[in-house]
Amino acid sequence: MKNIVLLGAGRSASALIQYLLKWASENDFFVRIGDKNLSVAEEKISNHPRGQAFAFDVQKYEDCQSAVQNAAVIVSLLPAHLHVPIAQACIEAGVSMLTASYISPAMQALHNEAESKNIMILNEIGLDPGIDHLSAMEVLDDLNEAGANITCFKSFCGGLVAPNSDTNLWGYKFSWNPRNVILAGQSTAKFMQNGQTKFVPYQRLFTYTEPIHFSQIGDFEGYPNRDSLSYLQAYRIQKVPTVIRGTIRKKGFSDAWNVFVQLGLTDDSYIYPNSAETTYRSFLNSYFQYDQHLSLEDKLKKMLHASMREDVFERINSTGILEDNIIGLDKATPAQILQQLLEEKWRLEPSDKDMVLMQHIFKYQLEGQNRCLRSSLVVIGQDNVQTAMAQTVGLPLGIATKLFLEKKIMLKGVLMPLVKELYRPILSELESCGIAFREHSTDISELELYN
């Protein structure tokens, strides 16, 4: 039997475990699942004959050593900063490893060692990073092979709520770590626009949106996310004049979120005094000047006056931040206070379904024509456990693990999934699991080529 050792049995592991157990018998897999919380791992195995749970603590050297013993491959779903000790144990034992996390500098530094030990450490093989790489590289390679002059590449992704479960004014519920949503965008966004490097700081990021449409799903918007420049070399698109990666939100989200940003409510750098006893209303009021003639509602409307957007006020109001409820959270930062409020209001209920959206936009010249190709992915969660997020993170990882054990992937070193050998078979099997991109291509004018 081939021992697959999966580390970390949290929320996003469900679809991966289901996939591996489904194929276990046919492929002679045995799936061992390690988690700090043994019962969580046991629950996920649910007495499957080809599964076994074990207690695992990445902080313990012996646990890392014994996890890799007799493993055919390691799959780590632990938080990104915990991968390195496992990777080191893998290198020592000569066992390959897969993760869905960004390659950290510490992980990248292990490349030569991994290569010389003849093992593969494949990272960024989840959703974003993951499916975005696979699907973008497939089209980019095709266009390059056809001789297209690519003028613009944009890639947007978002984890949202399914239309039928979309019951709040923001079109948003938390399907992953809420803290990351609250703090999103706090590093300056960097990208290419018409051959020029562009920078958008946090204080202007949420005014910098562009419309994104998904047929039958509706109107969304995208804002630039982090450092798109770091993808130029990896994607081999150094000569593409416009390159932007971004985040998808429901249309109107960013204008309202920007109010929180401008007020300073997403600040995570200081403790708000007496946060336990303060109400949300006085918390909000403390970010406005004193004015004996204006109510807090009036002050907020006055701030929004320039944009004349009643809908922005209604979105803010719907969070309950104007209400006199006690925060009750001790020694909290403004960002933690806002998070607590929104976790209550934007909770994905047991009956709710989440949704993952991705859209790549390619503009290019080919055979005298100016074209725009939109490649779109819509994944709706099955339920509260087999969420769209769990499927899109877990399935690429599961498929890559199976392909590796079938010896259909023969790569070595610390890698991202950017080559045909990986994206072809993985995208093809994802499609059979219902995770399929739809392409839509149109003629465009020359003026539209770069934006």
Task: Name the residues that contact its own copies, by CB under 8 A.
Answer: 187-188, 190, 193-194, 196-204, 208, 229, 261-264, 267, 269-270, 273, 282, 285-290, 292, 306, 334, 450-451
| Cα 158 to chain centroid, rounded | 7
CA nearest to 360, candidates 252, 237, 238: 237
Least CB distance to its own copies at residue 263 (A): 7
CA nearest to 251, candidates 203, 198, 213: 213
Least CB distance to its own copies at residue 297 (A): 17
* Closer of 47 and 269 to its own copies (Cβ): 269
CA nearest to 158, candidates 421, 425, 384, 356: 356
Q: Please give the DSSP secondary-structure letter assigned to residue 57.
A: -
Element (H, E) at 301: helix 296-304
* Closer of 54 and 450 to its own copies (Cβ): 450
Least CB distance to its own copies at residue 264 (A): 3
* Closer of 207 and 384 to its own copies (Cβ): 207
* Closer of 443 and 446 to its own copies (Cβ): 446
Give, rounded to a whole angstrom, the gap between the first and last alpha carbons of the chain: 53
Least CB distance to its own copies at residue 241 (A): 9
* Closer of 56 and 208 to its own copies (Cβ): 208
Least CB distance to its own copies at residue 240 (A): 14
* Closer of 261 and 361 to its own copies (Cβ): 261
3-state secondary structure 343-368: HHHCCCCCCCCEEEEEEEEEEEEECC
| Neighbour order of strands in the sheet with 120-122 | 51-55, 29-35, 2-7, 73-76, 96-99, 120-122, 413-415
Helices (H), 351-419: 388-405
Phi-psi map region of 352: left, alpha, beta (phi>0 left; psi -120 to 50 alpha) = beta
The answer to whether 157 and 132 are in contact (CB under 8 A) is: yes
CA nearest to 123, candidates 334, 399, 397, 364: 397
Least CB distance to its own copies at residue 231 (A): 14
* Closer of 195 and 434 to its own copies (Cβ): 195
Token reading at 331: 């020694």
Q: Please work out, in degrees rounded to the nearest 5, the angle formed at the alpha carbon of residue 155 by the alpha carbons of 447 and 410.
A: 130
* Closer of 88 and 286 to its own copies (Cβ): 286
Least CB distance to its own copies at residue 198 (A): 6
Least CB distance to its own copies at residue 76 (A): 29
